[in-house]
Amino acid sequence: MLEAYLQQGRIEAGCDEAGRGCLAGSVFAAAVILPEDFHNDLLNDSKQLTEKQRYSLRPIIEREALAWAVGEVTAQEIDKLNILNASLLAMHRAVAQLKLRPEHLLIDGNRFRQPAQLQLHRLSEDGKSKATASQSGLPDDYPEIPATTIVKGDGKFLSIAAASVLAKTYRDDAMLALHEQFPPYQWNENKGYPTP
């Protein structure tokens, strides 16, 4: 059974990404703040769910979450930043859009960096100066929020599992739209992941 929170009484946002292992498309991340009494027997790491289960959970998460948001970093930005920094920036973009400011972030994985550590200057026009807020996708007053990394957190905490479902389904939707433009790549089936 997944845990509802790391520390009771604190506003925690679970964060996860989708697309880090892909060869095509953007990387997406979601941030989700759930009520402490949230419960759903089906919710789990998105990789353990079928596509139908993920899409059935998405409206439940969006309806019952105290706040949720999805962030995207494009393939062009990934090329400038590298995939690790891009996936972390996608998480920050999601957190920055939350209507409720979290007191703590629960991050799926073993690495996390605050925006000042993400080499966002690479997104500037010359690749050297500080990236503007519009280039980074973060507001100028975006705060550093304490975070805890949790390996396989999407299988341990409800909010991270919920974030994994949103990130995966929103990314899949984007790849389905790209498939319409480029059908030979079969992104409707492989979603940009390398397949045999």
CATH number at residue 65: 3.30.420.10
Q: Does the residue 4 lie in any domain?
A: no
What's the domain count of the chain? 1
Percent of the chain's residues with pLDDT above 90: 70
Which has the minimum average pLDDT: 52-66, 88-102, 137-151, 180-194?
180-194
Predicted local confidence at residue 14, as pLDDT: 98
How many residues are present in the chain? 196
The answer as to whether 160 is a domain residue is: yes
In 3D, which of 193, 175, 169, 188 has the Cα closest to residue 30? 169
Domain membership flag for residue 195: no
Q: Return the ∠ at Cα 24 (arms to 23 and 30), rounded to 5°.
A: 100
Per the structure, the complete domain to which residue 96 belongs is given by 17-36+44-190
Residue 2 lies in a domain: no
Q: Which residues pair with 150 in a beta bridge?
A: 108
Residue 5 placed within a domain: no
In a domain, residue 101? The reply is yes
The pLDDT value recorded for residue 1 is 82
Specify if 107 maps to a domain. yes
